[in-house]
Structure formats: C-alpha cells, structure tokens
Structure 1
C-alpha cells in the first residue's frame, strides 16, 4: 500500500489540545505525521503542489478521537440485531419484534439489544411469558442496554438447555419461578452465554465471556464472515470520528482478524489496542497469555499489553458490589466475581509482568477492592508508571476519591451512562443507589478535581458510540438534587477526555492526542464550529472527515 499523499487542511478552527499552541487555522501532514500547524499562509507556503487540500470552512478540527472503552467485535455483530433503545411499553416492543422477525423468516434465533430495565414499566419485570406472547414459535432473546441481563422466551430457553435452570458461577443467576422453571431473566454472562452458543453467535463474545479462542478455529466462509463483521465495526467507529480504539474484551482471534485486515489493505482505519481477558476461573499462570499477546502485537497500529478483569456486575440487576446495602434492597450489597485475596494476587502478578490492568468496577465496594489490589501490587512490586485503570466507577465512596491520584489510577468513565443522560430513565437506578450516595455517583468532575485522569468512552454497544452525543451528555448533565455537586465538564475538558486523556491511558501522549508537529496525523474534522454552538444543540454537528495517519478513512 502506497503511503497517504500529503494533506493540507485550511480555513479551520483547530483545537490542538497542545497547551503551548492551543489554536490554529491550518495544518499540513506528510507521511502520516503532522508537519506544520499555523496560519493558512504558513501552511500554504510549506505544502507540496500535489498535496490533497481540504477546507474545513470554519469548522472545528481536533486530534483524532479515542474511544477509550468499547467492545468492537461483539458491537459490530449486534449492528444487525433489533435495536430497542427508546422503546417503551409492551405494544411498541411487540410491533418492533414482529417487523424484525418478518424480515428474517429463516433465522433460527432472534436477538434484540438496548432494552431498558423498565421497558414494561417501573414495576414490571420482563419474563419469558411476555416474550412468548410476541414470538411463541421462534427463539427470541432481549439484552438490556448494559449487556448484563438477558430475557429469553420459552423456545430460546428450551433450545439452550436453560428452562430447568443450570448451575452458574459467582455473580451470575438464572432466575427461577414458583413453577420450578426459569422465568426468562438471566443475569450476567455465564447465565445467558448458552443462548449465544445455541445461536452460533458466541465467537463474537468469546473475548468477553471466556477470554478464550474459538474451537474449532473459524476457517473458510466462517473466517470471512468474521472479517466482514470486524470491518463493519471499524467502519462504524471511523464514521463517528474515532482514530483510536481501546477494546475492553479480547483474545488472539480478534488480534488475528485485525492483523489480516491490515495485511490485505495495507493499513487499519483506526489504531486498536486489544486486551487479554483474565477471568475468575483462571490460574495466575494463565496471565502468560497476556504477556504473549503483548509481545506479539506491540506497534502503533495494533497492540495489546492490557489485562481486563470484571470485579462486579451492574446496579440495575443488584449485582454491582456496594460498601453499604442497596437503598431499595437492604438485604443485599451485590456480588463480586473475585474475592479480595484472589484479585490482589492477580493484580500483583499482572503488575509484576509489566502489564496494564483495567477492571470493571461499578459499585463503590468493587472500586475500593480494586484500589486495594492496586495498592498491594505497588507495595509488592515497587513503584512504576503502571497507569492501571478502573472502568465505570458509577459509585465511589468519598474515602476512596483521593486514592486515584495517590496511586496514579486512571478513572475511565462514560458520559452516556448516568440515569437521565441520553434518554436513560432515572428509575430504578437512582432509587437503588440511594439519596446519600447521589453526590458520589458518576462523579467524573469530583474525581478530576481530585487529580485523577479521566478518559471518556461510550462502552459501545452498551451505549451509542457517537462522541458528540457523549460530549453533550458530559457538558449538559443535570443534578438529581439541587444539593448534589455539579459534575459537568466544559467543552474543552470533554474534548480532552476523548483525545489527550485517551493517549495518556495508552502511554502514547508523546505521539498522539494533540495536534503538534511530529505527532501522528490522526484528526477528527467536524461539520460545525463546536465552540459557536449552544451545548444543547451540540449533537447537530456531524463528523465530516476522519483522518488516521494522514489518510482520509471516512468522508461524509
């Protein structure tokens, strides 16, 4: 593949995120790097005659956006599923499902994504009987928007061997009815993975569900199907302005698919980092796979080197681990997928190997346990620039807020996740958290002011991937009570969370995350001047061009 031609962008409102030179109107790229940033006249004087010239027409140009927590392979596969975001009530659900099923008469198993826990109303939980009324003769399963709960009809439960229940590990649960049969509600991955296996869709979630490899390994048409799914995901990401992707599930299969796409095309449209997923049933010796993945894939386009773990579940299923009981379920503090001792041992081992650790921890009890593990790893192995991460942090205990900066722990957070943001209902989540904990829920401003690094993300496909909507959510977030702290970010802080902070989280702040000579020519060009827009209208802007390594990989 020939290198991208020289590229010039003129007439722009460039937000460089470089504190030394924060603004410019033009830039020049050559051989995948930024060569010059300045005025139109300065850049025109430097550019070769054969350079591609783009006019931003006064619109905002930023460093290429980084999606700092996402699930590329499974998200891409789900683009073809029935999408239920915003659907409310049984009648609307039934109408959507009937229309979707009618268009796929030969499909064995039908899946839907993005359902609110309160889809049927604030006081009614979905069961197989609801879904049987919609599609009694075809296997049908719906996943919650957070992907931690599924609801399946009787046909799906029978085909998957779940109708009579099954043994599952810590933190997972197959809800059983008084009749001795499964109700259809399946909490956490181990409970609902049999649905995906039965449907032949488990390859796309292996990096999340088991951290293992497909067996048998896909060949021929199956491999080409996986290539097509991965391409679809990459295209979806660059369409939304992303030039860097930090995956939060992974295995060799995903790395090999991405490497094959690069071999065929000569480049990847976005830079991708794929972790090793360490599960609670694994032995510490299995951490060698993470070291091997890091050694095999370590360039600036495709890399590994992170260990992903899950400590708890989610608030809406009462599976997030809390310090004190749930406000609306006082007998429960949730569940943990590791004991403190198990997690600490894993953290010490991963840290000893020089791997970065990223842990899903939603409840304040899980956040505390992960911080404890990181502190123990520092004591055991010595101080180093580890940049370990905690993902989500939907509730944090006030005593633990300063520990992020003290331990150098990155707080990876998602602006679309708070109840009330981007169309999410307030209930049942705010009542589960409880009024006393509201000030410490989704507390990204509080953590930032305490010195933590805060990269933003969507957790796609859990939430819509669009970073413009994510920035709007961060800038316009409303308090649940007037006495709660204001957690809003400014526009420039939100942009930094998708650029500078993403580069820092990858240890690559010396080559990306800013528009500066010598840095990668990774750029996101918008259709409007974002600074001239009212925050409430920010999502009227679109991504006009996405540029990775000086190559235009998306043009609207």
Structure 2
C-alpha cells in the first residue's frame, strides 16, 4: 500500500518532492522500520515519509542525495542517521533532529499550504471542533494560516503555538499569552524534549523492555531549557513542552523548579504535552509547579504495543489520567492530529474504557468532556 501510494503521487507529480506521513511499522506484516530500498524502485522523485508519530522518517536515495547525506555525514545534535552496521551507509531511516537535514531542502508553494490548511479546518469543523490549539511548523504556515483566518476561510478560533525557531521573532514582536485579537492569538512556544514510544525515541529512565540497549533520547538539553524558560517568561510566552518519557518529564521539572518564577507560572500556565509515562512522584512535582498536562486520550487505543515497550511494571504509569486529576494536575485533552483521529469522541471512548490497560485509571464521561472543553480553554 505504501509503495502504491508513492507511485500514484509520482504519476501526478513526476518532477517534485513526494512527502507523506502515517506509516506505522507495527501495522506492517514484517513489523520493521522502512528503509530507502523499499522506495527506490517505486519512484525517481525524492521521497520523505514520516512515521505516524512524526519523530522518525524514511527518505529514499534521491532525497538523501539532495540533502548530501552519506556515510561520512555526522549525526546532528539530538538526531540519528540510521546506518547499515556492515558498511556504514545510511539506510534512509532518520530519527528526531536528523529529519531536518532533508526537510530543509523541501519548499512548499503557498497555495499548497493554503489548500492543506483549509481542508484540515473543514474536516475539524465536521467533527464539531470550533476552537483549535494549532502547533505551527514554520513561519510560512503561520503566515498563511493568519491570512486565511483574516479572510474568513478558517472558521475556528485559533490559539497558535509557534516553533522554537520563531521564538526570538515572536518575543521581539511583543506577542504575549494574555493578548487577543478577536479569536486569533499567538501564545505558546513548542519545545521537543524527546521523541515517541512508537519510534523508541521517548526518553526513559530505564531501558526499553523490547530494546534493552536503548533509553531513547533527550532532544533538548537542560542548559538550553534553562535559558529558554527565562526568556519565555520575560517575553510572556507559554511553554508547551513535549515529554512522553519519564526522563524527559523529570528534566523539565528539574529545570522549572530551579529557574521558573511562580508568578510567571501562574500567569502563563506552562504545559507539558503528552505526559505519557508519569509515576506518582513526578505527578506531585507537576502539581506543585502548577503545570497543565496536555494529554491525548486516543493514544491509549493506538499504543496497543505499549506494554511490550515498557513491561508490565511501568505500564501502570502509562496515561494515569484519574490519578492526575486526584493529585491536582489539570488535564487539557486533545487529539495531537494528524497523529490521531481528530474526532474527540474517539478520545472520550479511549479514556473511559482504557482498552488494553488497567481499569483503575478510567475517567468518567463528564471528566473527559471537561478536559476537552474547560481544560482546553484553561490551557490557552
């Protein structure tokens, strides 16, 4: 199916980049990551396909050549170019910050971005979403989104969360969380502290049960986060910190406990995106700092392999939503689209039934709806 989709895209666009997202090795018959050889005979175009989580991708040989990635290319900071153990050649699989080596070579026409944003907005309206937390990929996307919203082609209210490389510009322009502009505002900055469980790049305090030689990777250092906390609070921007693994979350808490100002935290309402693995001790530290847990209940259903990744003992700390509420951690629920289906009813069902996980952490329907509505409003 993946090869057929790439070949079809090549027929429509014989000379341009083919960019896609959504493959999952857990759903393939071989249960393995894709490699460049899976794509090289499918299309002559340069191809980059992100895994469903977005934290790893596969590039074909044409894309690697354009990005000048070869056996001599060094891994970027907090990224990995996966290599053949026999000859050192890149396999085509890229992890975390290594994706940027290829993505920086791709250029999108404004019309393509515009069409994608309008299509997404219409789809989200069909499932009843009238206000959105939008995590922005780049300056072009923010510019086009704002233009569409001003023209009335995007109907939802927008809370924009900008990428780190737009941070200095946003602070200089005076964007602050408490300002509003009739339904469109820039309030947060997204920081990736680690990767994903599906890609085995989430930063764990202990090795993966199904890959004992790895504990994942931190993609943002304590030193950089310490500096960013100070600058974000001075500039009036909310911190939206991606942390799936417990080691990543622990790093965030350590930095905030020593650097963040209580008055700024109360005003800006910093949040941790995902909080997938959160033992009780970390939960209590989150509460003490007043951090919001921005969670995605649909992950419970999708991560059916999670117990294999973590083992039975650690799985008790996976998506413990009831304990988080009990211990005073505010929940804001979302979909993390396009990673998950944006229909909130899918997330409500997952949080209430917890398929594959223990029943003790089940939420009531009222509790989940509150997280999707009141919680989402509080987090913006």
TM-score by length of 1: 0.62
After superposition, where does 1:76-475 map in structure 2 within 5 Å?
92-98=1-7, 100-101=8-9, 104=12, 106-121=14-29, 123-133=31-41, 135=42, 137-164=44-71, 166-177=73-84, 178-188=86-96, 190-201=97-108, 222-249=109-136, 252-265=139-152, 268-278=154-164, 287=168, 289-290=170-171, 292=173, 294=175, 298-379=180-261, 384-418=266-300, 421=301, 424=302, 426-427=304-305, 429-475=306-352
Q: Choose 315-324 or 159-168, whichever is displaced more.
A: 159-168
> What's 2:377 paired with?
503
After superposition, give the CA deviation of every residue in 1:11-54 in whole Å (9 maximum; x if it has no partner).
xxxxxxxxxxxxxxxxxxxxxxxxxxxxxxxxxxxxxxxxxxxx
Q: In structure 2, how many angstroms separate the alpha carbons of the residues matched to 1:467 and 1:293?
A: 33
Partner of 1:542: none
Q: Which structure has the greater CA radius of gyration?
A: 1
Q: Distance in 2 between matches of 1:416 and 1:165?
A: 41
Cα distance, 1:199 vs structure 2: 4.1
CA contact 1:443–1:487 (8 Å) conserved in 2: yes
If asked which structure has higher relative contact order (CA below 8 Å, sep 6+), I would say 1
Q: Deviations over 1:363-416 (max 9, x none)?
A: 001111112222223458676333110001111133111122222110001112
What's the CA shift for 1:503? 0.9
Task: Work out the CA distance in 2 between the residues paired with 1:292 and 1:302.
Answer: 15
Specify whether residues 495 and 425 from structure 1 end up closer, same or farther in structure 2 by C-alpha distance, changes over 3 A only: closer
8 A Cα contact 1:108 1:199, kept in partner: no
Return closer, same or farther for 1:187/1:262 CA change in 2, 3 Å cut-off. Answer: closer
SS of residue in 2 equivalent to 1:390: strand
Residue 460 of structure 1: SS of its match in structure 2? Answer: coil
C-alpha distance in 2 between matches for 1:288 and 1:381: 24
Contact 2:243/2:274, CA 8 A, preserved across alignment: yes
Give the CA deviation at 1:173: 0.7
In the alignment, the residues of structure 2 paired with residue 102 and residue 383 of structure 1 have an alpha-carbon distance, to the nearest angstrom, of 49
- Greater mean deviation of Cα atoms: 430-439 or 222-231: 222-231
Name the TM-score, length of structure 2 as normaliser: 0.88
Q: Does the 8 Å CA contact 1:164/1:181 hold for their aligned counterparts?
A: yes
Unaligned runs of 5+ in 2: none
Task: List per-residue Cα deviations over 1:168-196 (Å, max 9, x = no partner).
Answer: 432211111122321111111x3223443
In the TM superposition, what is the alpha-carbon distance from 1:325 to its structure 2 partner?
2.3
Counterparts of 2:286 and 2:21, CA distance in 1: 34
> Partners of 1:465 and 1:382 in 2: how far apart?
31
Supply the distance in 1 between the matched residues of 2:324 and 2:262 (Cα, whole angstroms). Answer: 26
Q: Is the 8 A contact 2:225 2:255 kept in 1?
A: yes
Deviation at 1:301, TM superposition (A): 0.7
In structure 2, the CA distance between the partners of 1:226 and 1:317, relative to structure 1 (3 Å rule), is: closer
The alpha-carbon deviation at position 437 of structure 1 amounts to 0.7
Q: Is the 8 A contact 2:78 2:220 kept in 1?
A: no
Cα displacement (A) at 1:150: 0.8
Q: CA deviation at 1:308?
A: 1.6
- Root-mean-square deviation (CA, aligned residues, Å) is 2.8
Cα deviation code 1:250-271 (max 9, x no counterpart): 5554443333234433x84111
Report the CA distance shift for 1:443/1:107 in structure 2 as closer, same or farther (over 3 A): farther
In structure 1, runs of 5+ residues without a counterpart are 1-91, 202-221, 507-556
Single out whichever of 401-410 and 117-126 deviates more from structure 2: 117-126
Q: Contact between 1:154 and 1:184, CA under 8 Å: does it hold in 2?
A: yes
Structure 2 CA distance for partners of 1:94 and 1:380, relative to 1, 3 Å: closer
SS of residue in 2 equivalent to 1:318? coil
Q: Is the 8 A contact 2:296 2:336 kept in 1?
A: yes
Q: For 1:66-77, list aligned pairs within 5 A.
A: none
Gap change, CA 1:199 and 1:249, over 3 Å in 2:
closer
CA deviation vs aligned residue, 1:188-214 (integer Å, no higher than 9, x gap): 1x322344344424xxxxxxxxxxxxx
